[in-house]
């Protein structure tokens, strides 16, 4: 499996965070490309990834966040079950 990534650009946000736009590529058939923006913040003097945004493209009708997927089924720190899942707009090929 051949995987690659390319940092396309960075963008400073008003709240002090950075968005690092990255293209993720999988070369195995069928080849796939995802575009994401890593949200980077400073914490205790170090840069850390705070969230990942899956960007809208021809396969994804709306932006979505990794944090939404990871917190689905939670009410704060408490598990309550999968009442409503965030919708992944990526179409099946």
Task: Decide if pLDDT at 93 tops 50.
Answer: no
Q: Is-contact 87 57, C-beta < 8 A?
A: no
Between CA 9 and CA 76 the distance in angstroms is 33
Q: What is the DSSP letter of 92?
A: P
- Output the CA–CA distances (angstroms, integers) from residue 47 to 7, 43, 59, in the order listed: 16, 6, 30
Give pLDDT tens digits for 43-91. 999 999 999 999 988 777 888 898 888 888 888 778 787 765 555 555 4
Asked if the bond preceding 76 is cis, omega within 30° of 0, the reply is: no
Q: Which two tokens stand for residue 17?
A: 């965070």
pTM of the model: 0.71
């Amino acid at each position: 499996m051949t995987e690659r990534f390319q940092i396309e650009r960075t963008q400073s946000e008003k709240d002090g965070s950075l968005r690092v736009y990255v293209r993720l590529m999988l070369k195995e058939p069928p080849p796939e490309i995802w575009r994401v923006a890593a949200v980077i913040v400073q914490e205790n003097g170090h840069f850390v990834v705070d969230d990942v945004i899956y960007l809208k493209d021809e396969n994804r009708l709306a932006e979505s966040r990794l944090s939404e997927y990871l917190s689905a089924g939670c009410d704060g720190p408490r598990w309550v079950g999968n009442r409503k899942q965030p919708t992944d707009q990526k179409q099946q090929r």
